[in-house]
Amino acid sequence: MNRKIQERLMAVAATALCIVFGITSKALAQEAAGDQLMIVSDLHYLSPALMTNGGVNLQKEIDNDNKMFDKASDVLQAVVGKALEQRPAGLLITGDLTRNGEQRSHTEVAAALQQLVDAGIKVWVVPGNHDVNNTNAKTYTGGMVRTAASPTSADFVTTYANMGYNDAIERDPNSLSYVCEPLPGLRLIAVDDNLCKERDKNKSLEANGISAKSLTWILAKADEAAAAGKQVMVMMHHQLVPHIDAQESLLGDAMVADVDNVRSSFLAHGLRLALTGHIHISNGTTWYTDGRADSIVEVTTGSVIAYPCHVRTLSFDPATGKVEFAASRITKTASDSNFGAYALQRAKDGTRATVSSIVWHNWSNISSMLEQFGASISQEDFVDACYAGLGDVIGKLTITMSEGNERQSGVTPSQLSRELDSGIESTVNTLLAGQNFLVRMMAYGVVKEVFHDMLDEAMYSALNDETCRGTELADVTDDLSPVMWLPVKATPSLKGDVNADGVVDVADLNALINLVLEGAGDGAADVNEDGAVDIADINALINIILQG
């Protein structure tokens, strides 16, 4: 058959089917393109209406926070604009949608995300530790700091009804967890690991975790998905896997409560991919069981309002189970075309906040050690000394960690180790300068050793992009574009399922047309099973679709 005639016939066949289903060729193209998910985390959005004329109190909060929450409104709109431009199948948000759980902030985040829902791009969220029943919710207006309303777990579900809860396949009655299928063949268990319903009864509760009833429900949903021939991943806020050695010294205790039990339970029920946030750096790593008999991969996405403002995409191939990630940055907003440079400068300027956070996470051990020697040093004075002596090295380390793929950064452990030693020497001298001679003599070596314990192991692990477990994804130093394969369960082939997504629909027709035009294809593409992939298969597939 003449090639032009063949192409014309195929175009007519596709158009006829589109007319039958009441869709346009543009919609066909959009459906075929929607094979990716976008992922962002830790929006920490604070409504501009809650910081009008905030005065010195607001400025102090901005200066003492390494997240650019004062720019969160611009960044959120940039994320929405990016999604509208790229048109993924959906957007996943792995928690901490608001700065401190202000209901006004949640309402505005949901309104912004509704723009995507209205455009046919689905959105799925889970709460973070900042989002529900947060007693730290504040408003900064008229120079005053006041308490702001924070949602209950039921309020959260109502606010984000169109972002996962209304169209969930099933919801956990004991938490804000739910199940959905964001891509054909790929089930997502969105896990509430913040005990949100327990916080309704005890708003001062600060612990995270997954209750025994909710864990049982999650595992049952994983089993059901696997039995249906689906691959499964989880999305949650806290970590299942430490991403660097001595992680708690730099990032605090970021792990989900009872992590050993949760992780082993997930693995026992076939859950081998977790998407997380919380630690504000983009990283990929693998946890292996003893003897490397099994493993779980955790891909965490950095805060979108902290440099380098990462946004991830996830692609999934249901036929092979291949999952590929990519990362990009928010480099401009509606009000700042040079936002990427601004974000980097804010990260450098925010090093004192980072130092303060490190000291805060380690203060219990530090203060007990100081008391042992009778040294009288306040936490604020300790932070000042650390910032003066170690600000440069900590700033360089945290920015390198935030950017990901540390081995490719040009910042070497040996280089930073020399700077660390020099900074520790200066810091200890400053800290002990006001103490009596006996205290200085007894404490000097111990204080230096404490600093090394805090920073040295974590620094080497981060810059080498590996942990003591020699994790696979760390070894290939690709935090930004990791690739993994979910286990594929053999299922009977579905006649006409050309793209192997488990359903026969217009997307299969689009895929088949492309294969015929390319002179390629076999197997499922040979719909009429005559040994050739041609226009006859297109006609056969149209009949299958029309017959339902």
CA 103 centroid distance within chain? 22
Residue with tokens 């981060």: 462
Banded model confidence at residue 15, pLDDT cuts 50, 70, 90: low
AA identity, residue 338: N
Banded model confidence at residue 115, pLDDT cuts 50, 70, 90: very high
Banded model confidence at residue 385, pLDDT cuts 50, 70, 90: confident
Q: Under a CB-based contact definition with an 8 Å cutoff, are residues 356 and 330 in contact?
A: no
Candidates 184, 161, 47; CA nearest to 499 is 184
**CA 311, CA 316: separation in Å to the nearest integer?**
17
Contacts 24+ apart (CB under 8 A), 25-33: 28/506, 28/509, 28/510, 29/510, 30/87, 30/120, 31/506, 31/507, 31/510, 32/507, 32/510, 32/511, 33/87
pLDDT digits 0-9 by tens, 52-104: 988 888 988 888 888 999 999 999 999 999 999 999 999 999 999 999 999 99
**10-14, 43-47, 207-211, 361-365: which has the minimum mean pLDDT?**
10-14
**285-299, 408-422, 460-474: which has the minimum mean pLDDT?**
460-474
Quick one: pLDDT at residue 24? 43
Quick one: pLDDT at residue 476? 43
Residue 172 has pLDDT above 70, yes or no: yes
Question: Using the 8-state DSSP alphabet, how is residue 228 labeled?
Answer: T
Structure tokens at 30: 């959009």
Q: Where are the domains of the chain?
A: 1-31+494-548, 348-464
Residue 251 has pLDDT above 60, yes or no: yes
Residue with tokens 């400025």: 59
The larger pLDDT score, comparing residue 161 to residue 529, is at 161
Quick one: pLDDT at residue 114? 97
Q: Where are the beta strands (DSSP E) in 256-309?
A: 273-276, 283-288, 295-300
AA identity, residue 27: A
Quick one: pLDDT at residue 34? 58
Residue 20 has pLDDT above 70, yes or no: no
pLDDT digits 0-9 by tens, 116-135: 999 999 999 999 999 999 99
Quick one: pLDDT at residue 535? 85
Quick one: pLDDT at residue 370? 75
Quick one: pLDDT at residue 474? 43
Candidates 108, 110, 136, 106; CA nearest to 123 is 110
Kind plus residue range of the DSSP H or E element containing 59: helix 55-63
Residue 25 has pLDDT above 70, yes or no: no
pLDDT digits 0-9 by tens, 426-450: 888 887 777 777 777 777 777 777 7
Residue 21 has pLDDT above 60, yes or no: no
| 138-141 and 144-147 strand pairing | antiparallel
Residue 367 has pLDDT above 50, yes or no: yes
As a whole number of Å, the CA-based R_g of the chain is 26
Quick one: pLDDT at residue 473? 44
| Mean pLDDT in residue range 407-433 | 83
Phi, psi of 267 (to 5 degrees): -65, -40
| Mean pLDDT in residue range 364-369 | 80
Candidates 187, 271, 178; CA nearest to 502 is 187
Residue 48: exposure state from Cβ atoms within 10 A (0-12, 13-18, ≥19): middle
- Helix, strand and coil content of the chain, in percent to the nearest 5, comes to 50, 15, 35
Residue 516 has pLDDT above 90, yes or no: no
CB atoms within 10 A of CB 315: 15
Second CATH level (architecture) for the domain 1-31+494-548:
Orthogonal Bundle (1.10)
| Mean pLDDT in residue range 393-413 | 88
Across 143-157, 434-448, 457-471, 508-522, the highest mean pLDDT is recorded for 143-157
Provide, rounded to the nearest whole percent, the portion of the chain with pLDDT above 90: 45
**CA 193, CA 358: separation in Å to the nearest integer?**
24
Q: Under a CB-based contact definition with an 8 Å cutoff, are residues 280 and 402 in contact?
A: yes
**102-111, 211-220, 490-499: which has the minimum mean pLDDT?**
490-499
Candidates 323, 279, 287; CA nearest to 188 is 323
Quick one: pLDDT at residue 469? 61
Residue with tokens 């700065």: 99
Quick one: pLDDT at residue 478? 79
Residue 20: exposure state from Cβ atoms within 10 A (0-12, 13-18, ≥19): exposed
| Mean pLDDT in residue range 349-376 | 82
Strand partners, 98: 45
- State pTM to two decimals: 0.81
Q: Under a CB-based contact definition with an 8 Å cutoff, are residues 234 and 218 in contact?
A: yes
Q: Under a CB-based contact definition with an 8 Å cutoff, are residues 41 and 304 in contact?
A: yes
Residue 451 has pLDDT above 80, yes or no: no
Q: Under a CB-based contact definition with an 8 Å cutoff, are residues 301 and 96 in contact?
A: no
| Mean pLDDT in residue range 405-416 | 85
CA 41 centroid distance within chain? 5
Helix/strand/coil for 481 = coil
